[in-house]
Amino acid sequence: MPSRGRWTEGIAHHVASSTGFLPPAEALPPSGALPAVRVAPLAPGVVSAAWGRWTRALAPSFADCFFVAILAWLFVCGASGWKSLLMDGDTGWHIRTGDYILANHAVPTRDLFSFSKPGAPWFAWEWLSDVVFGLLFRMGGLKAIVLFAGVLIAVYATVLLRYAIWRGANALLAAAATFLAVGSASLHFLARPHLFTLLLLPACLWLVEADRRRNTRWIWALAPLTAVWTNLHGGFLVFLVLLALLVAGNSIEALLGRPRWAAARRYLLLLLACLAASFVNPYGSGLHVHIIEYLRADWIRNLVQEFQAPTFRSEGQFQYEVLLITGLLVCGALLKRKCVTEALWLLFLAHCSLVSVRHVPLYASIAAPLIASEVSGWWKSSVTGLPKSSMFRILHQLGEDIAPSFRWMSVWPVVVVLALMAIGAPIKWPTDFPSEAFPVAMVHENSVLLQSGRLLTPDQWGDYLIYCFYPRQRVFVDGRSDFYGETLGREYLHLLQGAYDWRAILKRNGFDRALVPVDWPLTAILKLDPSWQVVKDDGKAILFRRRP
């Protein structure tokens, strides 16, 4: 057997011979050495492919630039910055629920936060999101939470843009439709679990549409993904409805003479698999019943603003209106071509968005790619006959030319996010909830008083108090409207309105503290009532204490 030196010499000989540089004859091993095995040089195509992969991973693309631009536009350079993601107090009780789960290694089934319904059965149906929020808070406080939420929003916008271009949209029109969708959805850009649904819905439908073009086994990955989604946020039900509409749409197209029966059967099996996967949660089928009853409750629509119809009075609502009208026009073109499924998706989510403003982002997420691809087809046919020097022809060609650079992403978005994680100043990272929405100073200055009695405060401020003082602080109501129910919800509404029975409700619940906004009707009543004393008034909130 040759020694280690002979192996080395043999390898050197092979490398030298393959490159054309042979050593002198006296340097060659003796005849008893191991015979040489020629090593063939790498084919030029292999080297080129490897180099192309490295180039694509390191060279920034337009999709990278879009991701960074959305992040900078909304949060780094925006007027409100990162604190805009904390304008909803629900983030507070999500963090504390995550803390509870991490500490006890169990999902809560009974109330943790109230004195109005202590220990009552509770569906913590976003428990996996709560764990994510709890872990992020432990690692980096509110900075980690808002950065994570901002990244989810930027990824959502990038997915919409790439989805539209994948459907064949002109890059310029895809970008315009995506900006409209981002503007429409911006009212729900908050650090809450619904951001997972905002991202997962278009991503999953993109996978479905890719499977409709060419069947692959990847489509069945949607079943375990639905199981995860179910424990992140209740928006998984919307995806199940869209799968049902996919089955219905294929069946209708089959009746219209198109070969769609095989697709209808395939997606019916997918629907059943995803539906079965959604029962993998701590509450089983009870979760589905609870969410459906919650969404159907009239008192919720009357009490909770995000369940009410859009008002079309803001810039974001105007952008939604543009998408809504254009989407209805696109529906006609889709039905004319017998594309029933896409039309059903648009009509269903358009109806949902008109009934409840919380569904506007979902409609925008589905409508934007469909609208961009359809309008691109119209634009292409209209500019075909124009001269090449025409402005519209040039813009169309520009959109076509830059589209390939949106179809891939490099490592630079990850680098940017890691850099943001490491940067402190000059970026204004939030260390507390925004004082524009919450009585931050008053809460911390009077923490002992607030925790020493039964406190009446708005549900949003109740969320903030849970964040600040749980487990010592208990609240009358917080953002979990599905938990408190209609009876308690109406009592709360009567209190803030100063209705005829306000005194009886205060007495029944034993309130001896009140931290209320200055514009509540009840606030004016308490200021005139001799049994209540003003402790602090900062012009936005007033803290009362009942006199002995």
pLDDT tens-digit map of 347-374: 999 999 999 999 999 999 999 999 999 9
pLDDT tens-digit map of 298-311: 888 777 778 888 88
Q: Quote the CA–CA distance of 411 and 408 in Å, as a whole number.
A: 10
The answer to whether 415 and 61 have CB atoms below 8 angstroms apart is: no
Residue 3 has pLDDT above 50, yes or no: no
pLDDT of residue 418: 92
Residue 503 has pLDDT above 50, yes or no: yes
Q: Quote the CA–CA distance of 91 and 142 in Å, as a whole number.
A: 10
pLDDT of residue 331: 94
Mean pLDDT over all residues of the chain? 88
pLDDT of residue 426: 78
pLDDT tens-digit map of 242-268: 999 999 999 999 999 889 999 999 999
pLDDT of residue 56: 65
Kind plus residue range of the DSSP H or E element containing 55: helix 44-58
- % residues pLDDT > 70 (the chain): 89
Compute CA distances 432 → 191, 443, 465, 468, whole Å. Answer: 13, 12, 12, 9
Reported confidence tier of residue 389, pLDDT bands at 50, 70, 90:
confident
Q: Quote the CA–CA distance of 83 and 68 in Å, as a whole number.
A: 18
Which residue ranges make up each domain of the chain?
4-57, 169-402, 440-546
Residue 417 has pLDDT above 80, yes or no: yes
Q: Quote the CA–CA distance of 112 and 469 in Å, as a whole number.
A: 13
Say if residue 426 is preceded by a cis peptide, omega within 30 of 0.
Answer: yes
As given in the structure block, the two tokens for residue 274 are 């995803």
pLDDT tens-digit map of 103-138: 999 999 999 999 999 999 999 999 999 999 999 999
| pLDDT average, residue stretch 78-105 | 93
Reported confidence tier of residue 40, pLDDT bands at 50, 70, 90:
low
As given in the structure block, the two tokens for residue 63 are 């999709």
Reported confidence tier of residue 43, pLDDT bands at 50, 70, 90:
low
Reported confidence tier of residue 23, pLDDT bands at 50, 70, 90:
very low
pTM, whole model, 2 decimals? 0.88
Q: Quote the CA–CA distance of 488 and 484 in Å, as a whole number.
A: 6
Compute CA distances 331 → 53, 111, 322, 324, 347, whole Å. Answer: 40, 45, 14, 11, 8
Identity at 364, one-letter amino acid code: A
Identity at 146, one-letter amino acid code: V
By DSSP bridging, strand 513-517 and strand 455-456 are parallel
| pLDDT average, residue stretch 522-548 | 94
Query: First-to-last CA distance in the chain?
Result: 101
pLDDT of residue 22: 39
Per DSSP, the residues of 316-334 read HHHHHHHHHHHHHHHHHHH
Residue 344 has pLDDT above 80, yes or no: yes
